[in-house]
Amino acid sequence: MNAATLFGLCGATLVGFGLYGLVTNPEPLRKILAFNLLGSGVFLVFGVVSKRAAASGLGGDPVPQAMVITAIVVAFAATAMAIALVLRLLQETGRATLSSDDPGGTDTDRGNA
Amino acid sequence: MPDATVLPDTTTTDGALLVLAIVLPAAGVLLSFAVGGRHVERIAFVLLPSGLVLALIIFADVWRSGHRLIYIVGDWKPPLGIALRADGLSAAMMVTMAIVICAVGVFAHADFGTRAGSVETRAPFAFWILLMAIWGAMNIVFLGGDLFTLYVALELLTFAAVPLVCLDGRAETLQAALRYLLFALLGSILYLVGTALLYGSYATLDIGLLSHRVHMEPATVAAATLMTVGLFAKTALFPLHLWLPPAHAGAPAAASAVLSAVVVKGSFFLVVRLWFDVMPGMLGPAGAQLFGALGAAAIVFGSVVALRQQRLKLLIAYSTVAQIGYLFLMFPLAFDTVSAQLQSGGALTGGMLQAISHATAKAAMFMAAGLIYAALGHDRIAELGGIARALPMTMFAFALGGVSLIGLPPSGGFLAKWLLLEAAVATGQWWWAMVMLAGGLFTSGYMFIVLSRALAPAEQPLKLRIIVPRYQEAAALALALTSLLLGLAALGPVDVFEVGRLDAMMVMPR
């Protein structure tokens, strides 16, 4: 097994863990962490693609590397936005959940409607 | 590889217009951050109409010349560089979205306008910036020529759309926004995995180049599946629609109109690009039927749930879930069994017209619902009595929007459904025709529930909380009329959708 395959398998495992966490965890913060795990797996896959598609004489294909930098910035911004939303939700209701029977949520709704 | 030598991608005359369509909104957003405060609305009021003019010029150019507009960024040709391309589909969608966004801008002046002497608040500042950001992101979605640029556009669209949901900062809308964001992030990361796999297999993400290299192999099938599921989650196609109703119903009226009319069309457009342009031969009959089945399930589920809603805005949001279903009926109808490919033709035209007429009609309906909410202080359907007498123009706009959704002539919805029905009959797929007709009945059902309540006399004299500004009603009515008269497009530029599709095939033969 060469390095590219090993990293590819690691990437796939991370994607699997992340996807499982994102789907099954009810807590928003855990979902966000799972999303980051999933993202890391995808970035690793990009690295593997770069290594495998390397042109002759180059250590790696630079195009996937350029893409992955963009993707990391995007994932960072997404995480920041999600955390900001969770914090704001916590300030408003005292708890941050996604369940719709959240008493804080309905109370505020009634007050405004 | 013959495509490397006969590559037709060179910047066309007027290709620079495409750059302008992306740079203008971006400049608007940056300038708004720099000057801040009450200038933001003024910037938007200059830029949004110029965006409409720009879209119209691009549309006229594409329609008259019958060729695509192409701009090669920095003269670096694909596969290394990035190409912007405007074909008939992009031009038509750009014009529609520009019209909707301009109308929303007029409508939003009342809610998010900054009046002289008033205290500066955060919501208007955010709203105008987000509106310009959505406009820019949509333009990149329509013009982007490679799958990674389209990924960035999708993310821009998400980041602009999510804060619109929770502009008023209530706990309920914050929750809806968070749920929307998580769905959207899952969708875009799946899309990103797909682009990585495709690049690994074919060493390009350019749509034109990829369409010639792509062939059936496990990595490609996995990539296509992941990307499609991701885009379905962002388009809120049943059963991934859970985030949509609370997000769209909870947002302020102007934001709901943008979200429902514009934002979901972005990811839908990418589904069309992916399957019609990148890999038309890969979907296969079973895949096409599956797309159609999900669409049909969305129509039935969305309509039935819409019929049971007590609140007007939720009813309209569930109606969006149902109408999104129609968009996916075009995949089985466009599938040509002889060549085993998705063919552009009546079904594609019908599907795109459905997207356009839904965009205009749904924006008008959300605006009307927002005005009703503002005037009554609630949007409970059972207590709407007398509102048609109090706000005749608003109710008229709402009803006209409904006419287009039901598909009565001469509305755009009629032309769209007629083209789709025609394709269903021509290809002998009567079951999709049944779904469409049943969907029309359901739609009339929930429209008439609302209209019969609204047209009934009030039990006690209505006291409106605010005086609804006439220009807000006019903005909603103008959009509803656009949707109604869209059916007349049958006399004019309806074949514009084909522009550029033939080009790509002729110049770059397999």
Look at residue B172 and give its three-state secondary structure. helix
pLDDT over 80 at B445, yes or no: yes
Provide the 8-state DSSP code for B342.
Answer: E
CA distance B158 to chain A (A): 9
Supply the pLDDT for residue A106. 39
Q: Does residue B122 or residue B421 have the better pLDDT? A: B421
Angle at which helix B264-272 crosses helix B88-112, to 10 degrees, equals 170
Number of other CB atoms surrounding residue B456 within 10 Å: 14
Query: Can you tell me the distance from the alpha carbon of B220 to that of B247, in angstroms, rounded to the nearest whole number?
Result: 34
The verdict on B218 touching A (C-beta cutoff 8 Å) is: no
Q: Is the pLDDT of residue B24 over 60?
A: yes
Contact by Cβ (8 Å): B306, B446:
yes
pLDDT of B1 above 50: no
pLDDT computed for residue B216 by the predictor = 86
B504 CB neighbour count, 10 Å cutoff: 17
Chain B, residues 124-183, CB within 8 A of chain A, namely: 148, 151-152, 155, 158-159, 162-163, 166, 168-172, 174-175, 177-179, 181-182
Q: Which pLDDT score, from 0 to 100, does residue B442 have?
A: 92
| Residue linked to tokens 């297999």 | B201
Q: Rounded CA gap, B20 and B58, in Å?
A: 11
- The length of chain B is 510
Cβ–Cβ below 8 Å for A85 and B174:
yes
Residue B279 pLDDT > 80: yes
- Indicate yes or no: CB of A82 within 8 angstroms of CB of B152: no
Q: How confident is the model at residue B161 (pLDDT cuts 50, 70, 90)?
A: very high
If you average pLDDT over every residue of chain B, what do you get? 86
| Set of chain B residues whose Cβ sits within 8 Å of the Cβ of A73 | none
Radius of gyration for chain A, computed over Cα atoms and rounded to the nearest angstrom: 19
**Which residue, among B166, B161, B177, has the nearest Cα to B252 in the 3D structure?**
B166
State the amino acid at position B201 in one-letter form.
S
CA distance B484 to B403: 7
Would the CA dihedral through B424, B429, B430, B435 be positive or negative?
negative
Contact B199/A45, CB-based, under 8 Å? Answer: no
* Alpha carbon of B77: minimum distance to chain A alpha carbons (Å): 14
B85 forms beta bridges with B70
Per residue, the 3-state secondary structure of B369-396, as one string, reads: HHHHHHHHCCCEHHHCCCHHHHCHHHHH
B239 touches chain A (CB under 8 A): no
B333 touches chain A (CB under 8 A): no
The residue whose two tokens read 């006229």 is B60
DSSP label at B263?
I
- Residue B502 CA, chain-centre distance (Å), reads 24
What angle (nearest 5°) sits at the alpha carbon of residue B267, between those of residues B262 and B272?
A: 110
Chain A contacts to B (CB-CB under 8 A): 15, 22, 28, 31-32, 35, 38-39, 42, 45-46, 48-49, 52-53, 61, 63-64, 67, 70-71, 74-75, 77-78, 81-82, 85-86, 88-89, 92-93, 98, 100, 102, 104-106, 108-109, 112-113
The b-or-e profile of B317-335 (16+ CB within 10 A means b, else e) is: bbbbbbbbbbbbbbbbbbb
User: Is there a contact between B199 and A63 if contact means CB atoms under 8 Å apart?
Assistant: yes
Task: Read off the pLDDT of residues B100-136 as tens digits, 9 standing for 90 and up.
Answer: 999 999 998 888 876 666 667 788 888 999 999 999 9
**B194 CA: distance to closest CA in chain A (Å):** 10
CA distance A109 to chain B (A): 6
Q: What is the pTM of this model?
A: 0.90
Q: Flag whether pLDDT at A53 surpasses 80.
A: no
Is residue A100 scored above 60 in pLDDT? no
Instruction: Write the pLDDT tens digit of every residue in B345-393.
Output: 788 888 888 999 999 999 999 999 999 998 888 888 888 888 888 888 9
Containing H/E element for B28? helix B16-35
- Asked whether the predicted pLDDT for residue B53 surpasses 90, the reply is yes
For chain A, say whether B186 makes contact (Cβ under 8 Å): yes
Candidate from B166, B170, B186 with C-beta closest to A108 = B170
How many helices and strands (H and E) does chain B possess? 20, 4
* Beta carbons of B332 and B429 less than 8 angstroms apart: yes
Helix (H, G, I), strand (E, B) or coil at B156: helix
Cβ neighbours around B442 below 10 Å, total: 20
State how far residue B370 is from chain A, nearest Cα, in angstroms.
13
Residues of chain B found within 8 Å of residue A35, distances taken between Cβ atoms = 182, 185-186, 189
**Residue B227 pLDDT:** 93
Q: What is the pLDDT of residue B487?
A: 79
Whether B193 has its CB under 8 Å from any CB of chain A: the answer is yes
Per-residue confidence (pLDDT) for residue B497, from 0 to 100: 74
User: Which of B369, B346, B376 is CA-nearest to residue B495?
Assistant: B346
Q: Do B170 and A112 touch (CB under 8 A)?
A: yes
Please give the ipTM for the structure prediction: 0.87
- Band (pLDDT 50/70/90 cuts) for residue A54 is low
Q: Residue B490's pLDDT band (boundaries 50, 70, 90)?
A: low
Asked if the Cβ–Cβ distance from A49 to B200 is below 8 Å, we say yes
Alpha helices of B308-391 — where are they, by DSSP H?
312-334, 346-376, 387-390
